[in-house]
Structure 1
Amino acid sequence: MKTDHLMHIQFTAERSLQEQIREHVIDSIQRGMFGTNALPSCRKMAAMLRVSRNTVVLVYERLVDEGYLYSQERSGYYPTNEARKNRDISVDAPDLADHPANIKPAQFWRKRVKTDLDCQRNVVKETNWQQYPYPFLFAQPEHSLFPLAHWRECGRLAQRSSVIKDWISDSVDCDDPMLVKQLQINVLSKRGITAKPEDILITVGTQNSLYLLADLLVENGTKVGLEDPGYPDARNIFSYHGAEIEPLDVDHQGVKVTQKMASCEYVYTTPSHQVPTNVTMSMDRRNELLESAERNDFIIIEDDFESEVNVLSQPSPALKSLDNNGRVIYVGSLSKSLSPGLRIGFIVADANLIREVRKLRRLMYRHPPSNNQRTCALFISLGHYDSYVRKLKNSYKDKWTLIRKMLEQHMPQCITDETLGGSSFWLRLPKGVKAEIFALKAREMGVLVEPGDVHFMHPERESYAYIRMGFSAIDIAMIPAGIEKLASILEPEHV
C-alpha cells in the first residue's frame, strides 16, 4: 500500500541537496509520517522537490545501505522495522507539555553552586550580527577569506588509513606530535621562541589556557596584576579563582611598570596588541617589565594577542623570546589567525609547569580533539597557514587604512593613541556621551559597535566612555557609510 504525502524542503546553499533530502526523509520516518507504507516514488519525490530523479535515487539507495529503508521490487521503498522501532521509542517519551502543573522550579541550586557567575561583566554580541549592514564587531572572521578548499584537503589527508591510526586511538594526555612540531618550527619561531616539545601544551583556546593556569596557580588572596582597561575574560577567570586583582594602568607603550607590580605574584599582559587599546608594547617597556619581574619575583603571563597582524611595521619579538630566567608563561592561539571556531590554543612554559598543567588538563578533557590537531598540523605544514595569514594581513591593512582615513575625516575627536594595526580601533567618545546609549543608537541605524565599559574594572570612575570598533568581518565597501552614520550620532542634535 502506498500513501501520498506532500514533501517540501526549504533548501539552503550551504549544504548539498542529497544531504538535506536525506535528513528530511529520516526525520519524516521517525515522526511516523509513512508508517509501514511506501515512500513517494523517486520520480514523484523529485517532482515535488524540484530536483533531479537521480538525486533522489542516490538518497534512497544510501538510506537502504544505512538500514533506514528497504526496497521491494515493483513496489517501492519502505521504512525498515528498526527505523520504525526508533520512532516508537520517541512516541513513548513523555511530552514536556504533559508535566503536572504543580511541579515547581528547584530553588535549592543557587545555594549549592560556588559563586554567582551572573555578577561577571562580559562582552555581549548580537547573535544575528550578520543581518546588520555595518557589523563593526571584534573577533568575527571574514568568511570569504578562509581557504576552505585547503582546509578540506587537509581534512581528507587526515582521514587516510596511514594517518588515522595516529589520532583515532586514546591519546590519554598527549598532544599530536605533528602539531607540536609545526608550532615549534612554523609558529613559535616567528615570535623568536625556541621551545622543546615538553615545553608545549595544546589547549582549546586562550580562555582555556588562562583557566588552566588560574586553577593551578591561583588561590584565595593571590595577587594578580591585570591591565586596566584589559581583557574581561582574564579578569573574570582570575577573579573566579579567588585572585585579588591589582589594576595596572596602560599608556601608549603598553602596561606601565610601576611599584604596583612589586606586590603581585603574577602579571597578565597583552604586549603585541594590548586589549582593548591595540597599542604595542615598546622594546624599552618589554625589557623594563622583564627586569621588574626578576627584581620583584613575579611571573609574567604573556597573551600574545594578534601578533601576526601588525600592518604598519614588523612585529616585535615576544616577551618569552627575551626571557632568560624562565619567568614568562606564553599563551598563544590560532583563533584570530585561523579560526575562532577551531579552538586551538597553546601554552609555552617551563617543562615542570607544563607537566603539572597537563595533569590538570587530563582531569578536565584529557586533550583537545586529535583529529582537529592533525588537520591543523597539516594545514600549517603545507604552507596554507602562512598564505592565509598574509591574505588576512593584506585585508586588515586595507581596512585599517580606510578606517583611519574616515575617522580623521568624520570623527577626529574620537581617535586615541596611534597603533600598529590589529583588527579593531579603540575610540574615545566626547565627554558626557555614554557608550551603551551610543551603541544602542548606532544599532538602530544598522551599525554594530561594542561599548568599552566592560574592559574597565571600574568604568564609573572614567571621565570618558569608549567603544571598540572591530573591522575583520565587515565588507570594506560598507566602511565609509558605516562611519558616516556613527559620526552623525555625535552631532549636537543626537548627543
Structure 2
Amino acid sequence: MVDFLMNIELHQNSTYQQQIREKLVELIEQDAFGDKALPSGRKMAQLLKVSRNTVVLVYESLVDEGFLIARKRSGFFVHPDLLMVQRLPNTVQQTTISDSKNRNQPNWSKRLQKQPSQLSTLNKDENWLKYPYPFIYGHIDVNEFPLYQWRECSRIAESKGKLHEWVEGYIDMDDPQLVSQIRQQILSKRGISAKTDEILITLGTQNSLFLLTSLLADQSVTFGVENPGYANLRHVISLCDSPVKALDVDDQGLQVGEQLSHCDYVCVTPSHQYPTTVTMTIERRKALLEQASKDDFIVIEDDYESEVNFIEKPLPALKSFDQDGRVIYTGSLSKSLSPGIRIGYMVADSSLITELRKLRTLHYRHPPSNNQRITALFISQGYYDSHVRRMRRTYEQKWLQMQQGIEQHLLNCEIYSTPGSFCFWIALPTSITSHKLREAAALQGILIESGDTLFMQQDAPKNYIRLGFSAINIDKISQGLAILGGLIAQLERKALNHKTADICCS
C-alpha cells in the first residue's frame, strides 16, 4: 500500500487536498485498497509530507461523497457498495492492442471516406507554455485573464436563485441574456443592427464556418477564399466537396473584379486580413458589396481581430454597409477574452439562422449553457468593456515593442503589419526556409509559425513566417527577437557559404 501512496507527487499547480483526493479516487476505482483500511491520517501525512489536517479533510470529504466509510477505532475503508461493483464478474475477455492485431479487426484506413488528419495546418506546439518566447498566434497570456471578474460572474450564475435559469439547457435555443448583450454591447459597436432571430451562438468562428459550409457547400458551389488565407476554412470547404478558388489580396485587402465573378460565396477578413493584417479600405468594401449584388454572390465576413483593435476609430464591419442581406457575419470572443471560452456568434437572414440552428441541434444542441450565462453576466456587468480597454493598451504596447524589435533585429526581412493587429507577417530572405528557422528557433526556446500552409498553391513560397505577440510576456519580446534575428543572420550566412562553395566547385 505504501508503494501506491509514494507515487503521489505533489506539485504547486493545485491544492494538496485536490491532488490527494484525485489520486485516492483513482486508487479506489482501481480496487487498490480492497477491504483493508487506508493508512491513518497521521501515517498518510508523514508519507506525503503534508499536515495531518489536510489528509483528514480529504478523508472526510470522501466519506461525504460515498467513496469511504469511517469505522470507529478501525479507520477509513472503501465503501462496501463500491467493492461490490468493482468485483462484479467481467464477461468480456480483456485484450491488449497487440492481441487485437491477430483478430479480424476492421481496416479503418479503407473505410474512411475523408481523412482530415492529412490536411496541412499551422504547426502548433501543444507544449507552448513551456517556451520562454512564444511568438505564436491565437493564444493569450494567462496572467491577463480577468480571473476575479469571471469568478464573480460564475458565482452569480451558480447561485441558488439563478441556477434554474440555465442548468436544464435551452433545447435548441441560446441564452436570451447573451444574445441581448451581444446585440447591444458588441454588434452595435461594429455598426450592426440585428434582430434576435438573426443571431446564432456558436462555439467560435471555426464552428460557424463549419456549420455554414455544411449547409451551403456541394460540388456545384464555388467558394472564393483569400490567398494567403485561413487554411482551416479551405479544409472545411473541401470536406464538403466544393471547389475552392484562390483570391488575390493587395495592400487594400481582397481584390475585387473579375476574380470574384464565378464565385457563389466569397470569404473575407476585412478588419485585418488573415495573415497579412491589411485592413480593407471603405472604398474596397463598398465595391465588394456592389459586385456581390451585381454578380449574385454571398459574402461571408470573418470580423477578425476587430474587438481588441487598439486603433482609436477602427472601420465599421462590412456587414454594417450591407443593404441587401448579402453578408453573413461571424465573430468570436476568442481574441478579446479567451480561446478556451469557445463563444462565437453569427448574424444572417433569419431564414438561414433557422436552418443553422436546426443543424447545430444535430451536432451539439447548443454551446454549454453555463458558459453562455457567465459570458452574458461578464458583459452586462461591464467587465468585458473594462477588460477590452485594458487589453487594447496592453496590445498596443506589445505591438510597438514588436515593431521596434523587428526593425532592429530582423534585418533583410520584409515586414507586413497593420497597427491594431495581433501579429506580424514577415518574408524572410529567400535563401532561408521558414521550417529551418522554426526548428532552429525552437532549440533556443522560441516558437514561431511557418507561413507556407496559409497559401493555396502547391509551390507556395517557403520563406514566410508569422509572429504573434498576444501570448508572450512583454518583457520577453525584445530578447526573443534579438535571438531570432541572430538565427536568421546565421542561416543567411550558412546559405551564402553553400552558394559560394557550389560556385567554386563548378
Provide TM-score, normalisation by structure 2: 0.92
Letter in 1 for 2:144: L
Q: Which runs of 5+ in 2 are unaligned?
A: 496-506
Alignment of 1:252-267 (within 5 A): 252-267=251-266
- On the 8 A contact 2:430/2:463 being kept in 1, the answer is yes
In the TM superposition, what is the alpha-carbon distance from 1:86 to its structure 2 partner? 3.9
Match of 2:480 among 473, 479, 482: 482
- On the 8 A contact 1:137/1:470 being kept in 2, the answer is yes
In the TM superposition, what is the alpha-carbon distance from 1:365 to its structure 2 partner? 1.1
Matched, 1:493 2:499: no
Q: Name the counterpart of 1:192.
A: 191
Q: Name the counterpart of 1:77.
A: 76
Q: Given the superposition, is the C-alpha separation of residues 76 and 247 from structure 1 closer, same or farther in structure 2, using an over 3 Å criterion?
A: same
Q: Name the counterpart of 1:7.
A: 5
Q: Given the superposition, is the C-alpha separation of residues 183 and 48 from structure 1 closer, same or farther in structure 2, using an over 3 Å criterion?
A: same
Q: 1:250 is paired with a residue of what secondary structure? A: strand
Q: Distance in 2 between matches of 1:262 and 1:90?
A: 68
Q: Name the counterpart of 2:29.
A: 30
Q: Name the counterpart of 1:473.
A: 471
Q: 2:236 is paired with a residue of what secondary structure? A: helix
In the TM superposition, what is the alpha-carbon distance from 1:263 to its structure 2 partner? 1.0
Per-residue deviation, residues 348-386 of structure 1 (Å, max 9, x unmatched): 011111011111111111111111111111111111111
Q: Distance in 2 between matches of 1:30 and 1:418?
A: 54
Q: Name the counterpart of 1:460.
A: 459
Q: Distance in 1 between matches of 2:330 and 2:273?
A: 14
Letter in 2 for 1:343: R
- On the 8 A contact 2:417/2:424 being kept in 1, the answer is no
Letter in 2 for 1:31: Q
- On the 8 A contact 1:279/1:420 being kept in 2, the answer is no
Q: 1:7 is paired with a residue of what secondary structure? A: helix
Q: Name the counterpart of 2:279.
A: 280
Letter in 2 for 1:291: E
Per-residue deviation, residues 429-452 of structure 1 (Å, max 9, x unmatched): 112321112211222222111000
In the TM superposition, what is the alpha-carbon distance from 1:294 to its structure 2 partner? 1.1
Q: Distance in 1 between matches of 2:319 and 2:175?
A: 23
Q: Name the counterpart of 2:44.
A: 45
Letter in 2 for 1:468: R
- On the 8 A contact 1:32/1:84 being kept in 2, the answer is yes
In the TM superposition, what is the alpha-carbon distance from 1:39 to its structure 2 partner? 1.2
In the TM superposition, what is the alpha-carbon distance from 1:106 to its structure 2 partner? 4.2
- On the 8 A contact 2:416/2:424 being kept in 1, the answer is no
Give RMSD over aligned pairs.
Answer: 2.0
- On the 8 A contact 2:276/2:417 being kept in 1, the answer is no
Alignment of 1:26-425 (within 5 A): 26-89=25-88, 94-97=93-96, 100=99, 103=102, 106=105, 108-425=107-424
In the TM superposition, what is the alpha-carbon distance from 1:93 to its structure 2 partner? 6.7
Q: 2:164 is paired with a residue of what secondary structure? A: helix
- On the 8 A contact 2:169/2:369 being kept in 1, the answer is no
Q: Name the counterpart of 2:498.
A: none
Q: Distance in 1 between matches of 2:494 and 2:156?
A: 56
Q: 1:416 is paired with a residue of what secondary structure? A: strand
Q: Name the counterpart of 2:499.
A: none
Q: Distance in 1 between matches of 2:163 and 2:279?
A: 42
Per-residue deviation, residues 303-361 of structure 1 (Å, max 9, x unmatched): 00110232344211001111111110000111111111111111101111101111111
In the TM superposition, what is the alpha-carbon distance from 1:459 to its structure 2 partner? 5.1
Q: Given the superposition, is the C-alpha separation of residues 40 and 433 from structure 1 closer, same or farther in structure 2, using an over 3 Å criterion?
A: same
Q: Distance in 2 between matches of 1:378 and 1:115?
A: 41
- On the 8 A contact 1:167/1:371 being kept in 2, the answer is yes
- On the 8 A contact 1:308/1:315 being kept in 2, the answer is no
More divergent stretch after superposition (152-161 vs 220-229) = 152-161
In the TM superposition, what is the alpha-carbon distance from 1:461 to its structure 2 partner? 4.7
More divergent stretch after superposition (115-124 vs 271-280) = 115-124
In the TM superposition, what is the alpha-carbon distance from 1:68 to its structure 2 partner? 1.1
Q: 1:172 is paired with a residue of what secondary structure? A: coil
Q: Distance in 1 between matches of 2:271 and 2:438?
A: 27
Q: Given the superposition, is the C-alpha separation of residues 93 and 135 from structure 1 closer, same or farther in structure 2, using an over 3 Å criterion?
A: farther
In the TM superposition, what is the alpha-carbon distance from 1:109 to its structure 2 partner? 2.7
Letter in 2 for 1:217: L
Letter in 2 for 1:493: R
Q: Given the superposition, is the C-alpha separation of residues 102 and 21 from structure 1 closer, same or farther in structure 2, using an over 3 Å criterion?
A: closer
More divergent stretch after superposition (477-486 vs 208-217) = 477-486
Q: Distance in 2 between matches of 1:56 and 1:418?
A: 55
Q: 1:126 is paired with a residue of what secondary structure? A: coil
In the TM superposition, what is the alpha-carbon distance from 1:104 to its structure 2 partner? 5.2
Q: Name the counterpart of 2:502.
A: none
Q: Distance in 2 between matches of 1:106 and 1:286?
A: 55
Per-residue deviation, residues 123-167 of structure 1 (Å, max 9, x unmatched): 121111122221111111110000112111111111122222121
Q: 2:14 is paired with a residue of what secondary structure? A: coil
Percent identical residues? 45
Q: Distance in 1 between matches of 2:180 and 2:258?
A: 40
- On the 8 A contact 2:411/2:485 being kept in 1, the answer is no
Q: Distance in 1 between matches of 2:450 and 2:387?
A: 30
Q: Distance in 2 between matches of 1:125 and 1:481?
A: 22
Q: Given the superposition, is the C-alpha separation of residues 417 and 372 from structure 1 closer, same or farther in structure 2, using an over 3 Å criterion?
A: same
Letter in 2 for 1:471: F
- On the 8 A contact 1:280/1:420 being kept in 2, the answer is no
Q: Given the superposition, is the C-alpha separation of residues 102 and 131 from structure 1 closer, same or farther in structure 2, using an over 3 Å criterion?
A: closer
Q: Distance in 2 between matches of 1:228 and 1:212?
A: 22
Per-residue deviation, residues 256-282 of structure 1 (Å, max 9, x unmatched): 112111111110001111111111111
- On the 8 A contact 2:140/2:470 being kept in 1, the answer is yes
In the TM superposition, what is the alpha-carbon distance from 1:107 to its structure 2 partner? 5.5
In the TM superposition, what is the alpha-carbon distance from 1:476 to its structure 2 partner? 1.4
Q: Given the superposition, is the C-alpha separation of residues 94 and 52 from structure 1 closer, same or farther in structure 2, using an over 3 Å criterion?
A: farther
More divergent stretch after superposition (450-459 vs 431-440) = 431-440
Q: 1:285 is paired with a residue of what secondary structure? A: helix
- On the 8 A contact 1:29/1:87 being kept in 2, the answer is no
Per-residue deviation, residues 202-254 of structure 1 (Å, max 9, x unmatched): 11111110011101111113111100000001111111111111111111111
More divergent stretch after superposition (3-12 vs 442-451) = 3-12
Q: Distance in 2 between matches of 1:190 and 1:281?
A: 18
